[in-house]
Structure 1
Amino acid sequence: MTMQMLSIIFGFFVPILIILVLLLVLILGYMPIQVPESHVAIVERFGRFRRILPPGLQFYSLIFGESIKRVMIRSTQQVREDDKIKVVYRTISSRFLDLREQIIDFPQQEVITKENVTIIIDALLFYRIVSPYNAVYNVANLPDSIEQIAKVALRDAIGSLTLDEAIQNVDKIKQIVSERVRKVEQEWGIKLVRVEIQKIEPPKRLLEAMELQMKAEREKRAKLIEAEAYRRAEIEKAEGDREAAIRRAEGEMVAKILEAEGQAQALQRLADAEAITVDAIMNKIGIIDAQSAMKYIVALRYVEALKKMADGQATKIYFPIDILSSLDAFTEALLKKFGKR
């Protein structure tokens, strides 16, 4: 009876125990992994690519030979050097591949220009990974490979330019480097964002010579500006004198015009007054014609003029014969008029 009970118990619990063990093995065989945002993880099975794990809580199976492939990435580290904090970029291995925009800060390097002048250049390269598979399996060390190909492109670009061309044509250097990197974009699964040139520094002795040249150029420019300012001042002064002369001439002309107009108005008024006088004489006397009246007025003007000439002190005044004849004619006309009446 006891053996029979044991056989029944054993036959009932052993399959359950086996199932529980298998479930436990399966559960323990799947390892959880937390993939950060904007990152992915590469899963391999027995050394071969299996799948890509997206961001979030993911699982991979150890029991089926799956593992997370470690990839090469660039890491930044702050170090103290000569009492200064310096950022150092290092290549390390990681379980996750960053899909965000990455930066490669090249160490300053010496390159030779077309005329064999050694200069120091410092550049930055920005890129992002668009194909994790290509970035991991088509190139052994993606960050270092990008850095090396960019360095070679920089040397080739600077070597084809003179120093002046390199300093003035930074965009051309960036274009050459960008074209070289874009040739491997698809193969390496990356997308070049941009290339930046931080510094192009000539040798110290060349910098001193350039500084002297710039100083001479500044002095020359200052003298030119001073000469131009003097020339403009002289021109403005001459223009001011000319404007003043024109205004004086215009003022004198206006004054003369006004004076002439005043004289003309005075003469006009005098003529009007004399016309009124002639009319009055003709109206009063009646028979005297206009010619006789005018002779009378002219004779009176002569008398006034002679008075002024004598200044009121002369005892004798001599009349011209034509004036006396005019007065005689006028007197005769008066006598005839009043004699008839």
Structure 2
Amino acid sequence: MGNTFCLFCGCIGQSHVAVVERWGRFERLAQPGFNFFNPLAGEFLAGLLSTRLSFLDVRIETKTKDNVFVQLLCSIHYRVIKESADDAFYELQNPQEQIQAYVFDVTRALVPRMTLDQLFEQKGEVAKAVLDELEKVMGAYGYNIEHILMVDIVPDPSVRKAMNEINAAQRMQLASVYKGEAEKVLQVKRVEAEAESKYLGGVGVARQRQAITDGLRENILNFSHKVEGTSAKEVMDLIMITQYFDTIKDLGNSSKNTTVFLPHGPGHVRDISEQIRMGMMEATSAHVNTQ
């Protein structure tokens, strides 16, 4: 039910307090429920006050210590103290403007001593400072400040854009570091794999040459024993010439369009065999000397 009144009585709704005057002077507070008034004795209802929780949003524009203009959206929750409703009725004509003025005063004194980062980190402290000041001041006027919330902090659009660009640049720098480290690892692994491949290739070539040498030695010995009157030198020359002609044949049968110029003739074949023989003799001599 709402508030209803007649000449001698009235019904005051819940969460309301009525101010009763007598001959123009404050007489008493009428609590919620049915109340009698005596207009013959000069009593009449001067006004009503709501004791519900009220909200006031205040937007403050100020500057931080690092010269950044910001807008702060502050939400104040307050209510009338029932026992001091007469002070709230008579002392303040516009309580919202009074609260707003004190919020401006406290925030514009505190925020300029903080940087923008500190303001974001310590916005709870700003709200607490505003709450302490308002409780001390508005309590004398019959108002109780329940909560103060620092809802939003909005820097200038150009500052927000710059902050986003700085954040993006830092993330790109970090990504570049990780990418460089990954490429470094891949490069090291690639070099290690190449080195391992070359090592294994060298081992394979060495084993191949060892097998060829062993095969040639065995062929030379068998041929020398089976064919009388032949020496190891003659058998070696015959094998070298055979290998030489096989190589020429392989080059001719190759499908690639490759031209190779080689000196060819009996003298050149003899020179090649002499070079091979000398190389093998030097290798054998070096092997004996090391033993």
Scaled by the length of structure 2, the TM-score of the pair is: 0.55
Per the alignment, residue 58 of structure 1 pairs with 35
Correspondences of 1:31-42 after superposition (within 5 Å): 31-42=8-19
Counterpart-to-counterpart distance in 2, 1:225 and 1:68 = 77
Question: Cα 1:228–1:141, aligned 2, differ >3 Å: closer, same or farther?
Answer: farther
Alignment partner, residue 53 of structure 2: 101
CA distance in 1, matches of 2:185, 2:101: 58
Does 2:34 align with 1:46? no
Residues 29 and 210 of structure 1, relative CA distance in 2, 3 Å threshold: closer
> Counterparts in 2 of 1:1-341, with a 5 A limit?
30-70=7-47, 96-106=48-58, 108-130=59-81, 131-223=84-176
Identity of aligned residues (%): 27
Gaps of 5+ in 1: 1-27, 71-95, 234-341
Deviation at 1:168, TM superposition (A): 2.0
In structure 2, relative to structure 1, the CA distance for the partners of 1:231 and 1:152 (3 Å cut) is farther
Any conservation in 1 of the 2:68–2:159 contact (CA below 8 Å)?
no
- CA drift of 1:140 comes to 3.0
The CA deviation at 1:51 is 0.8
Q: Please tell me whether Structure 1 or Structure 2 has the larger radius of gyration of its CA atoms.
A: 1
Displacement, 1:190? Answer: 2.2
Q: 1:59, CA displacement in angstroms?
A: 2.6
State the secondary structure of the residue aligned to 1:176: helix
User: Residue deviations 1:64-94, cap 9 Å, x none?
Assistant: 2222223xxxxxxxxxxxxxxxxxxxxxxxx
Deviations 1:107-163 (A, max 9, x none): x23212233332111110112222212222333322221222122212222122222
Change in CA separation of 1:172 and 1:226 when aligned onto 2, cut-off 3 Å:
farther
Whole-angstrom CA distance in 2 between matches of 1:207 and 1:55: 51
Q: 1:224 to 1:188 in 2, by over 3 A?
A: farther
Distance verdict in 2 for CA 1:122–1:63, change over 3 Å = same
Shift of 1:105: 1.3
Whole-Å separation in 2 of the counterparts to 1:172 and 1:230: 47
Question: 1:165 Cα deviation (Å)?
Answer: 1.6
C-alpha spacing 1:29/1:206, structure 2 compared with 1 (3 Å)? closer
SS at match of 1:177: helix
Superimposed CA distance per residue, residues 21-43 of structure 1 (whole angstroms, 9 cap, x where no aligned partner):
xxxxxxx9943322111111111
| 29 and 202 in structure 1: CA distance in 2 versus 1, 3 angstrom threshold | closer
Residue by residue over 1:275-326, the C-alpha shift from the partner in whole angstroms, topping out at 9 and shown as x without a partner, is: xxxxxxxxxxxxxxxxxxxxxxxxxxxxxxxxxxxxxxxxxxxxxxxxxxxx
Contact 1:30–1:59 under 8 Å retained in 2: no
What is the CA–CA distance in structure 2 between the aligned matches of 1:153 and 1:197, rounded to whole Å?
13
Q: Determine the structure 1 residue equivalent to 2:190.
A: none
SS at match of 2:145: strand
Residues 181-224 of structure 1: CA deviation (Å, up to 9, x unaligned): 12214312222211111111111111111110111122234445
Find the aligned partners of 1:229 and 1:218 in 2 and give their Cα distance: 16
Backbone CA RMSD of aligned residues: 2.8
Which whole-Å CA distance do the structure 2 matches of 1:173 and 1:228 have between them?
44
Q: Is this contact kept in 2: 1:29–1:62, CA < 8 A?
A: no
| Gap runs ≥5 in structure 2 | 187-291
SS in 2 for 1:63: helix
8 A Cα contact 1:29 1:63, kept in partner: no
Distance 1:147 1:213 in 2: 35
Give the aligned length.
Answer: 181
**Deviation at 1:229?**
7.9
Q: Higher relative CO (CA 8 A, sep ≥ 6), structure 1 or 2?
A: 2
